[in-house]
Structure 1
Amino acid sequence: MMEACPGEDWRVVPNLPEATAYINGKLVTLNVVVVGTSIYAGILVGIGLYRPRYRNHHAFVRLLIYGDGANTLFLPIISYLLSLDASMDSVLRPDPGFLQLTSYYIERSLLTELLLIWACLIQLLQTVGISNAATVAADDREAGRNTGLPVAPLLQTIWAAYVVLSQTYLSFHFYADVSELVLLGAFALMFARLVLKCFAFLMAQRSLALRLNPRLIVGYIKQLLQEEDSQSHGQPPQLIVMGEEREQVDEQPHGFYLKRLMMMMPRPSSQQEASMNKDNHLVTIDKIWQLEELEETSKDLCLSFALFKMLRCRFAGYTADETGYARAHDFIWQLLRSTSHDRLLGVITNELSFLHDFYFSSVPISYSKRCLPILSLLISLFTICYCLLVGIRVTYRYSYPDPGTDPDKYWSQLVIERDCRNGTTGGDSSSSSDFVFAGSSLYDLVPIFALLALVMLAEVREVASCICCNWGKVALICRQLYSNKQLLMLYPAVLRFRCNLLNPLEDKMRQCSIILPFYSRKHIITALHHLLIGKFTKNVKVPAAVKAAIVNALGSNNGQLSNGVGFLLQLQDHGGREFLWACIDGKATSDVILAWHIATSILEMKLVQGQQNANSSDNQIIAATHLSRYLAYVVKCWPELLPDDDKWSKRLYDDVSKDSMRVLAMARRGGDGGYKKVMELLTEKSEHEVVKNGVRLGRQLMELEDEAAAWRLLAGVWSEMILYVAPSENLSAHSDAIARGGELITVVWALLMHLGIYTRPSADANSVLSIIHV
């Protein structure tokens, strides 16, 4: 330990160990905050890049990751760190009231520079990869979905620029040449992106293709209905894909009318019609279908976009008749009967994906002007180049130190120098200096390079979004329609390119079971899953057998929905009528679902225990078990998507689950988990009527001579069941489902609407009996 300077008053100036301890304490605080904030930012960016829909998921996830405070958290952290850096030597400054023989000098210019660069990168990362709140230019009729001008991020960036740049000029030892350009470049990129976003929003507010589109679609449909010539049966309808922004419109009591079509009624002369067709810039589905050189997937994408516009009208409060669903009924029915189930459901999934983008992202406003996607792409490329240059700059500072630099000083965050003056005031004096190196520059360099990598990763995602975004693909197809159709052959790579990470909707279905293998609530991973997601469920890809079963059931019953009664009547020669009680005796839909779910689970237990052959009935088994567990999940987690009262359905599931778990606990304690023992205990010990009905139904299914027939019956009933429960007027519940990544029942709901099925028949016993006697 170094000795004190001779004659120094230690009540005024601390000794060197005390000074070093004080500085190290502040450095530890600074480093912990820098590293912790960088890790937190990395988590935010990682989740945002991998699954953007998580910000609309569970309430705890929104609070932890994308809460309102998360986007404003970094600004006070930056202010705190810069003030901490500026006050590093506050207690070591001499008191002018005392004569001091000891003075301290702290060399921290490099620390200040790196800290300012880190602050800029944090703010840049927030602008690029974290502050991704949706900016929506929605119509006033769309239940308050219009978000307004994104002013808050702009104001935050202005304040951050003031804090960082003011600290730059107050720091006396700051290298003000290249480093100033580094800081100014970061804020220039931030302001460019935010100003572009504000401009895009203002343009979208006036756009007939975005904010005002529902009013135009409704008016356009009314004009089509007034035409004398109706479209041929099953032909592609004249639904709008793009081109509205180039049309002149007239505001009418029931929407915006196209002036060009108004001039054609009554029927114009051939010369007038030719002139008006020349000015027709609308791209419609019938025109898309005439392009032989266009691939089927691209045509389907345009159809999804046109259907999305009609679906958006429903969310704007227009009725099904006003939105023009009838114009597409025959065409969608033809697709259902003539194409694969994957293609048909893919069209609907892409439609819901467009709806998700419009309500829960800022993608659509980027297409309010043709040049905006290109400008956004250029800003992303400039940002990537900027990050590379900053990385080179920081590397250069450490790769070429000044000649003769002490290695310890080279890798330290700051240097504490103590100067001991020997002598008195006014006389000759000599001095000696001591140096202490504090901290490690790795605490600054590693977070900086990590943030540079995160910013570039976020920008790469933006570039990929511009290239393979479905909005861009539709715009590319439509804009080449009237210019040069041969150019469509030059874009196969762009039109085919897909990135699953950018798809807002998952092709998955959650699975939940009442009596099949349980998730242990004592397991730490399961407990964490329950904390974050709140549901003990498993997420699986929707099997092709499930899609085929739903589409086939819809085609076979010609749109006549039932809760399984229709399919059982088709099997009346094979004992189907004997199972009608399971569809009729329930109080509502939820208890019928749970009774059939318990019966299906019992047969699945038998299958799992190897006492049943699965050979030829594999697809029926897959369809029945997956739909059974999925609808049980809907009853448990999202009963608002079902026709029954949601609170009643949740309470019913809880009661049934508790009753079955109590009985199954007896089976586990007895050491016999076989399905026969489970059925016996459920029959004897169960107190809930739904559980008893499920066991009765399961035993009745096992009595069938052909095991494959039992699974065929279950697959048919479950396929009809999901079709029966899907129609709904609860647009809010389906909107929430789309926000969290989509639900299979929402895909079926949208498909049924396009087929003209908006409601379900009554489920009361009299209605069902009337069907039976027909």
Structure 2
Amino acid sequence: MGYSYHKSTISSSALITLTCPNTIDLFLRNLTSSYADKSNESSVVTTSIFMFVLVAVFFNLNLFSRVSNTSAVLKPTARYFLSAAISLFLPIMSYLLSEAKGDAGESQGKDLPVQARFILMWMLFVELLRKKVEAVLVSGGMQRGYSGIITHATAVAWLGYLVFFNLKVADQVAVFGTLWLICAAKFVQRVAFTEIGRRSLAYGKNARLLSSYMAQLQLQARRGQQDAAPSERLKMCEYAVMGEEKLVLEPGPHGYVLDLNRDTVDHNVITVGKIWQLAESHSHEVLFTPNPRLKRLCLSFALFKLLRRRFEHLPLTTKEETDLCRDLIFEYICGDKGIVSDQSGVALFQLLKDEISFMCEYHHSVYPVVLASPRFLVVNYLVFPLVVAVFCFMTLAISAKGHMMSALSRIMVHNGIFTVAECLWKNVLRSQAAFFSAISISISYLLFIAFIYEEVEEFLVLVLSNWFVVSMLSSYTAKPRQSPAYSGTLHCISWVNEKLSFAGFITFKQLSVLSVSWLPMMLPTVSLPKQAKSLIMERLFSSAGSPAPLSNGQYVLDCRPQERDLSWFCESDSIAEVILTWHIATSLLEMPCRQGQEEMPWDDHKVVAARLSKYCAYLVAFHPELLPDDLEGTKHAYKVMKKDLKDTLGCWDYYFAPERDRYDKMMAEAARSENEAWPDCQQGKMNVVQKGAILGKMLIEESKAGERSIWELLAHLWVELIVYVAPSSREEQVKGHEEALGQGGELITLLWTLATHTGLTRPPPKSIVIQHVEDVEEMLRQRVEKKFYETRSHE
């Protein structure tokens, strides 16, 4: 891998005893001479250790990060670490390269020493792995300038200078020149993905195109589906899946001017309705019957394209659109009978999870999954490698000055690189120099394997991605008489994709104020229970037509006359205070149940209430920007709660005591202050910790008469709270959901997505009622008209 057997002067002190073949003995002596030079030993060891740590991280991420996940989004923690490491990598390694050249480079005169060549090789491989931490940005609404491209181009140019101005031997120039050429090709490829995507009507400009499409579609007054039966409405849905860019005639002053002639749309655009009609036809049951997810996936993709308008600050959806979208989603989920069941909740969250998956990968993917299609795979993984191979062949021919066979023989003589590794491992315990030399060889191997695996993984992720499935499904819908091989391939890919993506499996963090752990990375993660999905689905369905407006828990308590005394604990303008109060109470009720019934299965309602309680507390603590209250107000409420909790528990118990001791102190505080503080509770003078402790004591006492009914109440109350905080239209909260996409999305983001599509809103706060200018103007206009007609009637 870039070594040669040229003659060089080596001092006798640099020689070590190695049992190696004569053909590579001189190379090994060149390699180990760096370690024999005591003045240079520290820098060489530091270089090897630094690279070993970095390559271990890359190797681990590549081999083990997506064993059971086809997502193209890398975890933010790993991306931040690798981004910082790579930003420092080039200058540090350039310095170490100059140190490795040192006097040896001057004595040899024409070539780099072996250790310097290893450092240069590592720099090239790390540059090839750079894409692991760089998202492919094809969104027109998220352009971040060209600073990243310029930085990347500078790094590639610098590496080219190091390769072609420091290496003189033909076989070395061929090997390192080929690696640099691949680096340059990958950079050009990355720039092409970004720029083509940003300028494309199908990708970067698609959100603006969809705004024009939906607006002009409504002007066409195509209301036939309003009178259609629920089972037929989805077959008439004109939400675009693919091909809408073919309708553009020209940009106009209020968006794109589109050709919405019925024949033009039917010929060019693949809609949800077309796919639904195809799925219901008997001739295509072989494809869709064993793959019911295909229909849902195309609906998720169409909804994702509509949701992009919200993230890119385009005009909001109209009431007609939200009404239609609400009917389509709930009719798809509940069917013709409109019955909410456990399967309805599962289907709803599978639909939303796929939509958020599209959004996450669109904004944060490190692979070009957005462009995934059969044509893209041919161009990117067949044509492009052939072009790069031609340039590599030309590089070899130029560096060898036409003597290509001679250069190849020097590169591959006796499979030298494998012989070197075998020789070093045989002597690794006999010599310090051999030990560190083996590390250098191993680092090169691991980087090479990581690069190869990265290329294979990228191909597999693209082929198994939702984007590729939707692309194939759209092509199949456009030409349904495809060959059996095409439909069979689509069936196999969609089946594997579903198995690897764990559709419907939703996880979220848990925070308990009675727990010792307060760091987000140490918090446990649990899954959303099926019972919670059905309860949330039921609550959303009941509020769809606004017969049951959302509340901060009051609605649930008002529906139970025997529990109306607890409504005092919901009377607060701060949703954060309500969440923390009921979370403390739920945690206190949960403690004796968890310790006294460890071997007994938990009731479904108990699991729902406990998990949603801890998740809402987690939102208050770590994602206040996702809640409807003002950001600073939510942070202040949480900060005050922590201070009051510390005063109640004491400093030692607050940080170090087990949960049982915290529980005992909280119950003692509740018993001591209940009688004297109860009037203050009704007057709003009690702090959150006191209110939560007293409420917890009340729930524990009531649970003695009927524990199941208490947990059922809490389950519905926490469902009410999480549905209540989901809708939001403020830019602060939209930005928070956008940032949460980098983490894979939160549970609250799924519900916010549904609220955005269906127009679900919460009542305005009682303490602050703002009347918009438009409403005031409308009110004045109505008064003027009323006065005018009254005057006319008197006349």
| Partner secondary structure for residue 716 of structure 2 | helix
Contact 1:628 1:718 in 2 (8 A): yes
1:193/1:398 CA distance change after superposition, 3 Å = closer
Contact 1:353 1:505 in 2 (8 A): no
**Partner of 2:18 in structure 1?**
none
Matching residue within 627, 640, 648 for 2:612: 627
- Which one-letter code corresponds to 2:717 in the other structure? V
Give the distance between the partners of 1:17 and 1:76, measured in 2 at CA.
Answer: 29
| Partner secondary structure for residue 497 of structure 2 | coil
Matching residue within 342, 354, 357 for 1:353: 357
1:227 and 2:220 matched: yes
Contact 1:283 1:478 in 2 (8 A): yes
1:568 and 2:557 matched: yes
Residue segments in structure 1 that go unaligned for 5+ positions in a row: 1-12, 94-105, 265-272, 402-406, 416-435, 522-529, 768-774
> TM-score scaled to structure 1, two decimals?
0.76
Give the distance between the partners of 2:623 and 2:362, measured in 1 at CA.
Answer: 23
Give the distance between the partners of 1:20 and 1:351, measured in 2 at CA.
Answer: 55
Give the distance between the partners of 1:114 and 1:284, measured in 2 at CA.
Answer: 59
Give the distance between the partners of 1:700 and 1:256, measured in 2 at CA.
Answer: 61
**Partner of 1:30 in structure 2?**
44
1:261-300 paired onto structure 2 within 5 Å? 261=260, 264=261, 276=264, 280-292=267-279, 293=284, 294=288, 295-300=291-296
Matching residue within 577, 586, 591 for 2:564: 577
1:365 CA displacement = 7.6
Task: Identify the range of structure 1 (361-370 vs 471-480) with the bigger mean alpha-carbon deviation.
Answer: 361-370
1:621-660 paired onto structure 2 within 5 Å? 621-660=606-645
1:497 and 2:496 matched: yes
**Partner of 1:712 in structure 2?**
712
1:377 and 2:363 matched: no
Give the distance between the partners of 1:145 and 1:24, measured in 2 at CA.
Answer: 47
Give the distance between the partners of 1:143 and 1:440, measured in 2 at CA.
Answer: 46
1:692 and 2:714 matched: no
1:254-653 paired onto structure 2 within 5 Å? 254-259=254-259, 261=260, 264=261, 276=264, 280-292=267-279, 293=284, 294=288, 295-321=291-317, 324-338=321-335, 340-361=344-365, 363=367, 367=371, 371-378=375-382, 393=412, 396-398=415-417, 441-486=437-482, 487-498=486-497, 507-515=506-514, 517-519=515-517, 530=519, 537-558=523-544, 560-572=549-561, 575-584=562-571, 586-610=572-596, 618-653=603-638
Give the distance between the partners of 1:344 and 1:725, measured in 2 at CA.
Answer: 18
- Which one-letter code corresponds to 1:450 in the other structure? L
1:750/1:22 CA distance change after superposition, 3 Å = same
1:672 CA displacement = 7.4
**Partner of 2:700 in structure 1?**
702
Give the distance between the partners of 2:498 and 2:450, measured in 1 at CA.
Answer: 19
Contact 1:137 1:148 in 2 (8 A): no
Give the distance between the partners of 1:721 and 1:630, measured in 2 at CA.
Answer: 11
| Partner secondary structure for residue 268 of structure 2 | coil
- Which one-letter code corresponds to 2:160 in the other structure? A
| Partner secondary structure for residue 133 of structure 2 | coil
Give the distance between the partners of 2:424 and 2:142, measured in 1 at CA.
Answer: 63
Give the distance between the partners of 2:663 and 2:307, measured in 1 at CA.
Answer: 46
Task: Identify the range of structure 1 (702-711 vs 242-251) with the bigger mean alpha-carbon deviation.
Answer: 242-251
Contact 1:192 1:379 in 2 (8 A): no
1:12-91 paired onto structure 2 within 5 Å? 23-44=37-58, 46-47=60-61, 50=65, 57=76, 64-67=81-84, 70-89=85-104
Contact 1:135 1:148 in 2 (8 A): no
1:20 CA displacement = 9.2
1:683 CA displacement = 4.5
Give the distance between the partners of 2:738 and 2:425, measured in 1 at CA.
Answer: 59
Contact 1:683 1:692 in 2 (8 A): no
Give the distance between the partners of 2:354 and 2:558, measured in 1 at CA.
Answer: 35
Deviations 1:193-223 (A, max 9, x none): 2222222223223311111112211111122
1:133 and 2:137 matched: no
**Bigger Rg, which one:** 1
Give the distance between the partners of 1:64 and 1:699, measured in 2 at CA.
Answer: 46
Give the distance between the partners of 2:176 and 2:11, measured in 1 at CA.
Answer: 36
| Partner secondary structure for residue 250 of structure 1 | strand
**Partner of 1:731 in structure 2?**
734
**Partner of 2:784 in structure 1?**
none
Give the distance between the partners of 1:113 and 1:505, measured in 2 at CA.
Answer: 53
Residue segments in structure 2 that go unaligned for 5+ positions in a row: 1-9, 16-32, 336-342, 393-407, 678-685, 770-795
> TM-score scaled to structure 2, two decimals?
0.74
Deviations 1:315-341 (A, max 9, x none): 222343259444422101213434522
| Partner secondary structure for residue 241 of structure 1 | strand
Deviations 1:298-328 (A, max 9, x none): 1111111111111111122234325944442
| Partner secondary structure for residue 204 of structure 1 | helix
Contact 1:590 1:635 in 2 (8 A): yes
- Which one-letter code corresponds to 2:326 in the other structure? H
**Partner of 1:3 in structure 2?**
none
Matching residue within 764, 769, 772 for 1:762: 764
Deviations 1:51-102 (A, max 9, x none): 89997746xx7654323xx3343333443343333324379x6xxxxxxxxx
Deviations 1:355-410 (A, max 9, x none): 122222354586288643334334998899x9xx99x9598115568xxxxx8999
Task: Identify the range of structure 1 (370-379 vs 644-653) with the bigger mean alpha-carbon deviation.
Answer: 370-379
Contact 1:135 1:149 in 2 (8 A): no
Give the distance between the partners of 1:46 and 1:502, measured in 2 at CA.
Answer: 20
Matching residue within 668, 693, 715 for 1:680: 668
Give the distance between the partners of 1:400 and 1:64, measured in 2 at CA.
Answer: 35
Give the distance between the partners of 1:469 and 1:571, measured in 2 at CA.
Answer: 47
Contact 1:120 1:183 in 2 (8 A): yes
1:188 CA displacement = 2.5
Give the distance between the partners of 1:589 and 1:503, measured in 2 at CA.
Answer: 33
Give the distance between the partners of 1:685 and 1:344, measured in 2 at CA.
Answer: 45
Give the distance between the partners of 2:503 and 2:414, measured in 1 at CA.
Answer: 38
1:710 CA displacement = 0.2
Give the distance between the partners of 1:589 and 1:334, measured in 2 at CA.
Answer: 32
1:193 and 2:186 matched: yes
- Which one-letter code corresponds to 1:756 in the other structure? G
1:466 CA displacement = 1.6
1:451/1:555 CA distance change after superposition, 3 Å = same
1:593 CA displacement = 0.8
Contact 1:118 1:447 in 2 (8 A): no
Give the distance between the partners of 2:498 and 2:182, measured in 1 at CA.
Answer: 26
| Partner secondary structure for residue 250 of structure 2 | strand
Give the distance between the partners of 1:395 and 1:379, measured in 2 at CA.
Answer: 33
1:545 CA displacement = 2.7
Give the distance between the partners of 1:518 and 1:731, measured in 2 at CA.
Answer: 32
1:589/1:669 CA distance change after superposition, 3 Å = closer
| Partner secondary structure for residue 150 of structure 1 | helix
Contact 1:200 1:366 in 2 (8 A): no
Give the distance between the partners of 1:614 and 1:232, measured in 2 at CA.
Answer: 51
Give the distance between the partners of 2:590 and 2:219, measured in 1 at CA.
Answer: 56
TM-align CA RMSD: 4.2
Contact 2:239 2:271 in 1 (8 A): yes
1:252/1:409 CA distance change after superposition, 3 Å = closer
**Partner of 1:158 in structure 2?**
157
Hey, which of these two has a bigger chunk of helix by percent?
A: 2
Give aligned-pair identity as a percent: 27
1:512 CA displacement = 0.6
1:601 CA displacement = 0.7
1:672/1:722 CA distance change after superposition, 3 Å = closer
| Partner secondary structure for residue 513 of structure 2 | coil
1:612/1:507 CA distance change after superposition, 3 Å = closer
| Partner secondary structure for residue 278 of structure 2 | coil
1:245 CA displacement = 3.5
1:244 CA displacement = 2.6
| Partner secondary structure for residue 497 of structure 1 | helix
1:364/1:302 CA distance change after superposition, 3 Å = farther
